Amino acid sequence: MSYIDVIKEKARMDKKTIVLPETTDKRTLIAASNIMKERIADIIMIGDEEKIMDGATWLEIELDGVKIINPKTCEKLDYYANILYEVRKNKGMTPEKAKEILLADPLTFGVIMVKANEADGMVAGACHATADTLRPALQILKTAPGVKLVSGFFLMCVPDCEFGHEGTFLFADCGLNQDPTAEELAAIAESSARSFKSLVGAKPVIAMLSHSTRGSAKHPLVDKVVEAAKIAHEQYPHLTLDGELQLDAALVPSVAKSKAPGSEVAGKANVLIFPNLDSGNIGYKLVQRLAKAEAYGPMLQGIAKPVNDLSRGCSWQDIVGVVALTAVQAQLA
């Protein structure tokens, strides 16, 4: 059974309700149909019911059991607008503006439903930029208690791979924080360890990645990763973590023996913490495209309730997978 099939089975055991607000996108419609068929989650879609059903007919799919909510005719619009007003009134929000936003932006409408406990999570980003997905989630749901920052990760499932946990890895941060500080990298490592443990079920073995291994290169970028590893050891001593490590030293046992002898992480890593967004984003796309890996994300960690982003290049199968993962996150929230 593949990793995502295991996640789907977990999702079925305690079915959650997930909002899919991008109902003008055919991938979202196809994904919703398959989610319902596979009984992975209950689905709420935001938009005009007639247009959504016309789209389903054109695609020759069924949306039986999907709940469709049109903000323009929603009986709870005023209630939702008041929630948005209360959350954002200190930022200049008015009741009138709140209603206007909910009528214009299905992503904000979906997040408000999660805030109101009428849905357990939301997945979007197939046809919106990451910022458009994250902004309402951060403004309305905010960060979870005790979390220093919200970060993004991908779960990467690499076929026929001898490394990681049976070919499964967590890459972070590949979608949100552009140039994290050393302290932020340490916090990303801690959040990523929890995400890996909860979603993969294996012990997280964390490599703080760099172009240097144990001082093989000198540069301020290397210094940042070294400091991040030091902070992580001090603040999160329970973590199995090492750095700075080059990627081959982190993954390949034979390389680890020569470059990082005695490391409890080198040659065994399954959680890879990239030093900045450039390297993380490039890294996951290389693995996805060249190694034919399944890439699920960017998943978000640290938000009070699960809201997850999609790559605009995603397939409908990717959406199904991220919905399943979001449902499992909701079970653990």
Per DSSP bridges, beta strands 121-124 and 307-309 are parallel
Tokens of 140: 């309305």
**Per-residue model confidence (pLDDT) at position 327:** 95
pLDDT in tens, 45-84: 999 999 999 999 998 999 999 999 999 999 999 999 999 9
Least confident of 8-17, 145-154, 197-206, 242-251: 145-154
d(CA 127, CA 109): 16
* φ, ψ dihedrals at 246, nearest 5°: -75, 160
Collect all residues with Cβ–Cβ distance below 8 Å to 332 and sequence separation of at least 6. Answer: 198
**Per-residue model confidence (pLDDT) at position 129:** 81
Indicate whether 207 pLDDT > 90: yes
Tokens of 331: 């079970």
**Per-residue model confidence (pLDDT) at position 113:** 97
Residue 137 has a CB neighbour count (10 Å cut-off) of: 26
**106: nearest Cα among 83, 82, 127:** 127
Instruction: Report, as an integer, the average pLDDT of 265-275.
Output: 95
d(CA 226, CA 66): 49
Indicate whether 213 pLDDT > 80: yes
Contact 112, 88 (CB under 8 A): no
**pLDDT band, residue 176 (cuts 50/70/90):** confident
High-pLDDT (> 70) share of the chain, %: 100
d(CA 234, CA 229): 9
**Per-residue model confidence (pLDDT) at position 134:** 85
Indicate whether 245 pLDDT > 90: yes
Contact 193, 170 (CB under 8 A): no
**pLDDT band, residue 169 (cuts 50/70/90):** very high
**Per-residue model confidence (pLDDT) at position 126:** 84
**pLDDT band, residue 144 (cuts 50/70/90):** confident
Indicate whether 297 pLDDT > 80: no
Q: Average pLDDT, whole number, for the chain?
A: 92
The pTM is what? 0.84
